[in-house]
Structures are given as C-alpha cells and as structure tokens.
C-alpha cells in the first residue's frame, strides 16, 4: 500500500485498486491533494493489469468538500493539472468508480461526475454545486458534465439553486448510478469492482471507448471558456469580501457551514 499525505492508494487485487482521500478535517481539494492524486495516477498508469479503481474517502462526513479557494492561486492559471487529471481519468484504460459517503460539493462533485460509475450512501451522501452562493459558477467541468448526466433543466436547477441533494434524488436524476443503504455500500461497491476485475481487459476498454465516442465528454475548449468565466466572477470585490468573511469564522462555525452549506448559503427561512 502506498501512503501519501492526503491520498492513499491500495491494491486490493491484481486488477483492482482503491484510492482514498484523506485530507482532514473536511477533505478540501487543495494543491497537496492534487499533487498526491497525480502521483497515484502515475502509479495506476504504470500498472498494466489494472481494470477497475474505486475512489472513496476516509472521512464519513466528507467525500471531497470543495476547492480550497484560499489556495486557488497555487494551482496556476487555468488549473492545468486539474484538467489533466480529469482527462487522464476519462482516457484511462480502467473503469473508475465513486463510492460516496458524506459531502461532495463543488470540485468534489465535479470529480465524481468525471468518473465512470457512482454509488452513494442513501443516509450520508450529499451532492451539490455551491458556487452560486458566493457569486461564482462551477469552473471545473461541473456545468458541462452535470448537463450531460442529468439533462439541461435539472443541471440548471442544481447549479442555480446551490442546494444540497440527497442520494435518492441524485439516483432519480441519473446523477449517481445507485443510492445504496449505508450499511451495504462497501459490499455493493466491492462486488461490482471484483466483477469488473474478473472480466477481460480488452473488452472492458472497448466498452468504455465506444461509450466515450458515442457520448463524448465536454471539449477542452468549452471547459477552458467556462473556467475563464469562473475566474472573472471570482476576482470581483463582492466575491472576495464574501469569501473573506467566511474565512474569518471561528472553527466551530466553519464546521457548521461545511456540514450545512446548501442551507447556509441561501436566504434565511
């Protein structure tokens, strides 16, 4: 097993790997996670036998919370490493699976939608695109991939409302493949992964490649244009002042915000 500071990669079987996000306290996506994830993808690409990779979290309340906006400048203009990561996952010869417990918002949800298959804990999975609450938009593929998965009207609902969505709703929308009782999630995902690992690698690659050809992913040009729009919105004084106020909250208030963000960013009821 390989251990990095924020990502663990474990080879479960000859063709089956599990990758676990572990960046306490809330699993923010920051430059350390990004660097460690690149290292893990390098390892996976060096293993010619891998057929299936499951991505999960060590923290039951958070799969990937969202982008650490306080460190966004460290990713470089246009976040090139992020877009390279999702392209590598899209083009990978193996099947990628998300096992979702806890919150996957913002770039956490954008990571999930870049995977091939998603299973979610009925009791504990929370998905959403929170950006509208801060006067910005999903800038890392969230609008495009959500629209592809769940259709224009529902993607507009999710992105424009900024609300949290539970696993049953996400399943109904086609956002996740299945909502599973939490006590069964690990077994369901493991069974699926082991079946994939049992089958012929060339046939599995053919299935993924054909689906990718027939239902193409968003183009690099469209993603870059959306990210540029995100940066234009992000740099406005209004947005920076709002983010600064959130960053000055005491730790207990920050945790409450992270746990209940879909409710907290909207109008008071």
Q: How many whole angstroms separate alpha carbon 12 and alpha carbon 239? A: 44
Q: How many whole angstroms separate alpha carbon 46 and alpha carbon 52? A: 14
Q: Which pLDDT belongs to residue 14?
A: 96
Among 50-64, 115-129, 204-218, whose mean pLDDT is lowest? 204-218
Q: Distances from the Cα of 182 to the Cαs of 56, 84, 125, 164, 214, in angstroms?
A: 13, 32, 9, 18, 33
What average pLDDT does range 249-264 have in this prediction? 91
CB 47 within 8 A of CB 82: no
Q: Is the dihedral of CA 170, 173, 177, 182 positive or negative?
A: positive
What average pLDDT does range 133-161 have in this prediction? 96
Residue 146, pLDDT above cutoff 80: yes
DSSP helix/strand/coil, 55: strand
Q: Counting beta carbons within 10 angstroms of the beta carbon of residue 148, is it exposed (0 to 12), middle (13 to 18) or buried (19 or more)?
A: middle
List, in sequence order, every residue forming a beta bridge with 225; answer none if it has no partner: none
> What confidence category does residue 235 fall into, taking pLDDT thresholds of 50, 70 and 90?
very high
Query: Which is more confident, 213 or 97?
Result: 97
**Shortest CA distance to 128 belongs to which of 259, 10, 221?**
259
Q: Distances from the Cα of 131 to the Cαs of 76, 169, 170, 208, in angstroms?
A: 20, 20, 18, 31
Among 4-8, 110-114, 177-181, 191-195, whose mean pLDDT is lowest? 4-8
Q: How many whole angstroms separate alpha carbon 37 and alpha carbon 20? A: 10
Q: Which pLDDT belongs to residue 4?
A: 52
Residue 79, pLDDT above cutoff 80: yes
CB 34 within 8 A of CB 75: yes
What are the extents of the domains in the chain?
2-200
Q: Distances from the Cα of 218 to the Cαs of 6, 135, 230, in angstroms?
A: 28, 24, 16
Q: How many whole angstroms separate alpha carbon 97 and alpha carbon 84? A: 18
What average pLDDT does range 187-215 have in this prediction? 96
Q: Which pLDDT belongs to residue 269?
A: 64
CATH architecture of the domain with range 2-200? Alpha-Beta Complex (3.90)
Residue 3, pLDDT above cutoff 50: no
Rg, Å, the chain Cα set: 18
pLDDT over 70 for what percent of the chain?
98
CB 179 within 8 A of CB 122: yes
DSSP helix/strand/coil, 15: coil
Residue 213, pLDDT above cutoff 80: yes
Residue 240, pLDDT above cutoff 80: yes
Q: Residue 224 belongs to what H/E stretch?
A: helix 220-234
Q: Which pLDDT belongs to residue 2?
A: 42
CB 163 within 8 A of CB 109: no
CA dihedral angle for residue 1, residue 108, residue 34, residue 214, rounded to 10 degrees: 90
């Amino acid at each position: 097993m390989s251990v990095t500071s924020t990502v663990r990669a474990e080879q479960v079987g000859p063709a089956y790997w599990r990758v676990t996000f572990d960046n306490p306290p809330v699993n923010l996506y920051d430059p350390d996670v990004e660097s460690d994830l690149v290292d893990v993808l390098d390892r996976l690409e060096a293993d010619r036998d891998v057929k299936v990779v499951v991505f999960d979290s060590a923290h039951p309340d958070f799969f990937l919370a969202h982008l650490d906006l306080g460190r966004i400048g460290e990713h470089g203009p246009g976040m090139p490493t992020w877009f390279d990561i999702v392209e590598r996952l899209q083009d990978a010869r193996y099947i990628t699976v998300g096992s979702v417990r806890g919150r996957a918002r913002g770039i956490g949800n954008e990571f999930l939608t870049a995977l091939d298959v998603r299973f979610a804990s009925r009791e504990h999975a929370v998905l959403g695109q929170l950006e509208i609450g801060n006067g910005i938009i999903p800038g890392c593929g969230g609008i495009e991939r959500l629209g592809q998965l769940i259709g224009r009207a529902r993607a507009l609902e999710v992105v424009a409302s900024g609300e949290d969505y539970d696993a049953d709703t996400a399943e109904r929308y086609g956002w996740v493949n299945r909502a599973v009782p939490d006590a069964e999630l690990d077994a369901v995902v493991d069974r699926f992964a082991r079946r994939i690992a049992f089958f012929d690698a060339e046939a599995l690659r053919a299935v993924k490649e054909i689906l990718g050809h027939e239902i193409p992913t968003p183009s690099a040009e469209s993603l870059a244009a959306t990210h540029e729009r995100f940066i234009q919105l992000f740099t406005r004084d209004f947005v920076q002042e709002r983010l600064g106020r959130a960053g000055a909250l005491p730790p207990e208030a920050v945790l409450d915000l992270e746990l209940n963000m879909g409710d907290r960013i909207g109008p008071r009821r």
